[in-house]
Amino acid sequence: MKYHKLVENAAKPNGFWGKMMIKSMNKNHSSLTDWGLEHIQIELGSKVLDIGCGGGQTVSKLCNMVGNGKVCGIDYSELCVKKSQKLNSKSILCGKANIKQASVSSLPFDDNCFDIVTAVETFYFWPDKPNDLKEIMRVLKSGGKLLMIFEMLRSDDDPFKWERVEKMLGIKAVDENEIAQLLEDCGYVNVKTYTQSGTSWLCAIAEKPKEQI
Ligand SMILES: C[S@@+](CC[C@H](N)C(=O)[O-])C[C@H]1O[C@@H](n2cnc3c(N)ncnc32)[C@H](O)[C@@H]1O
């Protein structure tokens, strides 16, 4: 019962079980997120967007990495926006962070405004993945990078590992080659993927092509 209520709230946290899920995500995604962030260089002064920011822990980590840069977070769950705002209240007060309620499918930002976009454990839930990836490309600067981090990697060693969660949430664990191919099909370049032995973690990094002058 408890497990079901918690897992159901991974897609769009709401109410009591949503609050419990947010607590659990902030705790359980921390080392996965740190590992994923190790694969990308974040320059001081960067402008970064975290999509599906959940309880706001990634926004907080990013705020500590960008120096005098800026970090925005978006999530379509009202509860997540409130919790992220609470966790990052100091950074919001000093104008470093900004958290908005929005869907990945329609980002409330101008074209070409972010150096980096991150998305931790959220891709599975997006309604129209190819178009959502193109929407992210719209807000990335030329040469900007998308970093996606996953805990649910499908592997031949244990193909049914995620079956229960997949059925409960109507989502699919990701395949390393399929993710890379999808990113390329959506127009991203320099696509790289990384896995961590002994885990089912995957991190994918892709670049918006640089404008030809
Ligand atoms: C499993 S949680 C991960 C949260 C956070 N990134 C973390 O690692 O703890 C997935 C998050 O993605 C958000 N999400 C799912 N679909 C979304 C969409 N279409 N647009 C924006 N946020 C979405 C959910 O509300 C939820 O907060």
Q: Tell me the three state secondary structure of residue 81.
A: helix
pLDDT tens across 51-69, in order? 999 999 999 999 999 999 9
- Residue whose CA is closest, atom 9 of ligand 1? 25
Instruction: Choose the residue to mutate in 14, 125, 165, 166 for probing ligand 1, maximizing ligand atoms within 8 Å of C-beta.
Output: 125
- Give the per-residue pLDDT at 7: 86
Atom number, ligand 1, closest to the C-alpha of residue 77: 25
What's the rounded Cα separation, in Å, for the pair 49 and 73?
Answer: 6
Residue 45, number of CB atoms within 10 A of its CB: 11
Residue 37: CB within 6 Å of ligand 1?
no
pLDDT tens across 107-152, in order? 999 999 999 999 999 999 999 999 999 999 999 999 999 999 999 9
pLDDT of 1 > 80? The answer is: no
CATH class of 29-207: alpha beta
Distances (CA, A) of 25 to 33, 56, 101, 125: 11, 10, 18, 15
What's the rounded Cα separation, in Å, for the pair 87 and 89?
Answer: 6
Q: Could you tell me the pTM of the whole model?
A: 0.97
Atom number, ligand 1, closest to the C-alpha of residue 149: 8
pLDDT of 213 > 80? The answer is: no
Q: Where are the domains of the chain?
A: 29-207
What's the first-to-final CA gap in the chain, in angstroms?
A: 58
Ligand 1 centroid from CA 9, angstroms: 10
Phi, then psi, of 77 in degrees rounded to 5: -90, 125
Atom number, ligand 1, closest to the C-alpha of residue 104: 20
